[in-house]
A and B are shown apart, each in its own frame.
Chain A
């Protein structure tokens, strides 16, 4: 135990004394979540929209003027019928189409309720949400100012928001779980694989091997500091997500941290596995980048929705561990799910751990080659 403690202390010293490692461990998670967060939820100006006015009365024209003068929207074109919706989104790349129902003014004044539909392109879910919120707000404003001009004005403009391409608006808060997966992967897998191969490269592995330290002590000792660092990172990402970007944590924080720790261990076992295969730091770094980071970013559903992938890639995404972690985090954070809803994914994560730990133990050598 004393041996193990000495080893862990040494690992912490390595981390604290290398400013680059510290930078990656502490500053990068912050910077990344800020960049991703702000890039995705940045203020929107002059978003191109289309208008399908089936009523063409004074009121709809006034409403259109109001919307366009807000500065948020720029009119791309007037549509003539619903058939043009598809092409407007696909070819003209409008972000939103506003549909006024036939007889809008009549409904407003006599039936007290007029309907307007806001159809957004939700493949960019964040923009879609922001645009529809802006439009709804402007229309509510418009409704109030009109009610003030008529006696006993209590008419309603009913806005119905519809999402095209992504009806459940998956991905609004997608960036936080994704960033969490990415950073835990980076901190845990890449940093451990580099730190283990560093010992190989500098020859100190020979001295460690020749010592009475057991292989599992060397490995657990290497890994322990990174579990701490990863936990701190998880907390800081959650805190920033919660306070800066108002991402809710509906489920149990404890369960969330448990799953994050599980994923950290999985990433660490991947890092160990890489280090048993890689000969030096360079190779370890490239293997982590290409075998771990790229799939985490591209195939886990972090940036590109898995449903939209071609079949072979969808299959591959099944063996990308972060994919399952992202599902778990989404369920817990956004839907408030308990363990009963995430046990399947949890088991898959555990299965990956067993697999990679087993492979690493098999591959770890008590001798040099």
Chain B
């Protein structure tokens, strides 16, 4: 079990992580969601012992990453945000190097990486620098796993990877989870939230919510509509002046319009827009998703802080 209590970390002029507390259960696939600069990498580096928190405590089972960093480094598999294997070594050499460095052999824990490694094994004599993004990521995961870590810390593993490889990657994480490995993964992609057991929404160094993805969505208490007109930008500006608007923001080809009032008539919105010269006005029911929740939580908090 991993417990993070009141963790803060500042760099020269910026507070990267502010009073964060999270509990992660054993065997959980835990997602850390947030945009670039939210403080995800810093938090992960404090968990894996690469950085010392200014305040607060972290426990990985009974280990303290500050004091017991040597022991922690045996039980952790870490994949940094940047591809950080040796580009001038081949796939096989990279894997063997990390296996030996962690005091094991490729054969010993092959069962753990088999599903992943088999996909890149045909190219095992190719240098890592000449691999595609998806293959690099599979190799990095194999290297992080080769010593059978108890905890896998993945920093934005799917950033810069194509959609198909991303889906495959999450399948791999699921199967690793079934093998009993606890996984913490950070990602800026909101759609990946539903693939995690629980997620923490992080923004500006703070955790704004930490729950199962479904629960977070359930807590979204406002009615929400998808709105589309022939002039979407003007509609955005107009809706901001509408009396019952709680929030409105572009979302794909639609605007997401969030109402302050629980009871209201879609017709009123349509009339409001038509009065302002909008054509082809569409208003439709939608379910809020995790990104709506994220926007709601972070913007709401920002208003309070301001």
A residues with a Cβ closer than 8 A to B are 2-3, 5-7, 9-10, 13-14, 17-18, 202-204, 206-213, 366-368
Check A10/B74 contact, CB under 8 A, given A209-B50, A210-B49, A367-B50. Answer: no
25 sampled A-B residue pairs with Cβ under 8 A? A6-B97, A6-B100, A6-B101, A7-B97, A9-B97, A202-B82, A203-B82, A203-B83, A204-B85, A204-B86, A206-B50, A206-B80, A207-B98, A208-B101, A210-B48, A211-B102, A212-B70, A212-B74, A212-B101, A212-B103, A366-B69, A367-B50, A367-B51, A368-B45, A368-B51
Contact check, A10 vs B78: say whether CB atoms are below 8 A apart. no
Q: Which residues of B are found within 8 Å of A211, using beta-carbon distances?
A: 73, 98, 101-102
Interface residues of B, CB < 8 Å — how many? Answer: 32
In the complex, are the beta carbons of A204 and B84 less than 8 A apart?
yes
User: Does B121 sit at the interface, judged by CB under 8 A?
Assistant: no
Q: B78 contacts A206, CB within 8 Å? A: yes
Within the complex, what minimum Cβ distance (angstroms) separates B279 from chain A? 52
Cα–Cα, bound, A177→B70 (Å):
45
Q: Contacts A202-B82, A210-B49, A368-B51: A13 and B88 contacting too (C-beta < 8 A)?
A: yes
B296 within 8 A of A: no
Are A210 and B93 in touch, CB under 8 angstroms? no
Tell me the chain B residues, 64-104 only, with Cβ under 8 Å from chain A.
69-70, 73-74, 76, 78, 80-89, 93, 96-98, 100-103
Which B residue's beta carbon lies closest to that of A3? B101
> Is B32 located at the chain interface by the 8 A CB criterion?
no
A207–B70 touching, CB < 8 Å:
no
**A to B contact number (C-beta, < 8 Å):** 77
Q: Which B residues are CB-close (under 8 A) to A2?
A: 100, 103
Q: How far is the CA of A210 from the CA of B98 in the complex (A)?
A: 11
Q: Smallest distance from the beta carbon of B99 to chain A beta carbons, Å?
A: 8
Interface centre among A2, A208, A212 (most CB of B within 10 A): A212
- B52 on interface, CB distance cutoff 8 Å: yes
Contact status of A213 and B101, CB under 8 A, knowing A206-B50, A368-B51: yes
A211-B74 Cα distance, complex, nearest whole Å = 7
Q: How far is the CB of B127 from chain A (nearest CB, A)?
A: 8
B-chain residues with CB within 8 Å of residue A206 when the two chains form the complex: 50, 78, 80, 84
Chain B residue at smallest Cβ distance from A13: B89
> In the complex, are the beta carbons of B49 and A367 less than 8 A apart?
yes
Q: Assuming the A-B contacts A3-B101, A13-B93, are A212 and B73 also in contact, with contact meaning beta carbons closer than 8 angstroms in the complex? A: yes
Distance between Cα atoms of A210 and B73 in the complex (Å) = 5
Nearest Cβ distance between residue A154 and chain B, in whole angstroms? 73
What residues of chain A lie closer than 8 Å to B96, measured between beta carbons?
6
A6 to B, closest residue via Cβ: B100
Q: Are A7 and B101 in contact (CB under 8 A)?
A: yes
A6 to B88, CA, bound (A): 15
When distances are taken between beta carbons in the complex, the residues of chain B under 8 Å from A202 are 82, 84, 87
Smallest CB separation, A15 vs chain B (Å): 10
Residues of B within 8 A of A13 (CB): 88-89, 93
Contacts of A208 in B (CB 8 A): 101
- Which among B51, B78, B80, B86 is the interface contact of A14 at CB below 8 angstroms? B86
Smallest CB separation, B90 vs chain A (Å): 9
Which chain B residue lies CB-closest to A205? B84
A203 to B81, CA, bound (A): 9
* Cα separation A204 to B9 with both chains bound (whole Å): 23
Is the CB–CB distance between A207 and B84 below 8 Å? yes
Q: How far is the CB of B9 from chain A (nearest CB, A)?
A: 12
Query: Which residues on the A side are within 8 Å of B143 (C-beta)?
Result: 207
With A and B bound together, what is the CA distance between A13 and B94 in angstroms? 11
Residues of B contacting A10 with CB < 8 Å? 86, 89, 93, 97
Q: A10-B93, A13-B93, A211-B101 are in contact. Are A18 and B88 (CB under 8 A)?
A: yes
**B51: which A residues are within 8 A, CB to CB?**
367-368
Residues of A within 8 A of B74 (CB): 212
* Bound CA–CA A210/B140 (angstroms): 14
Across the interface, which residues of B come within 8 angstroms of A5, CB to CB?
Answer: 100
- Looking at the assembled complex, report how far the CB atom of B102 sits from the nearest CB atom of chain A, in whole angstroms: 6
Shortest C-beta distance, A63 to chain B (Å), equals 67
**A contact residues around B98 at 8 Å (CB):** 207, 211
A5 to B101, CA, bound (A): 9
Chain B residue at smallest Cβ distance from A206? B80
Extra pairs beyond A3-B101, A10-B86, A17-B127 (5, CB < 8 Å) = A2-B103, A5-B100, A203-B82, A206-B78, A206-B80
Closest chain A residue, CB of each to CB of B85? A204
| Chain B residues, Cβ within 8 Å of A17 | 88-89, 127
Residues of chain A contacted by B127 (CB below 8 angstroms): 17
Q: Shortest CB–CB separation between residue B249 and chain A, in angstroms?
A: 34
The distance in angstroms between the C-alpha atoms of A202 and B80, with both chains bound, is 11
Distance, CA A9 to CA B143, complexed state (A) = 17
Nearest-neighbor residue (CB-CB) of B94 within chain A: A10
Q: Given the complex, which residues of A lie within 8 Å of B83, measured CB to CB?
A: 203
Q: A10-B89, A10-B93, A368-B51 are in contact. Are A203 and B102 (CB under 8 A)?
A: no
Closest residue of chain B to A218 (Cβ to Cβ) is: B101
How long is the Cα–Cα vector from A338 to B87 in the complex, in angstroms?
A: 47
Residues of B11-68 contacting chain A, CB below 8 A: 45, 48-52
Cβ of A207 and Cβ of B89 under 8 Å apart?
no
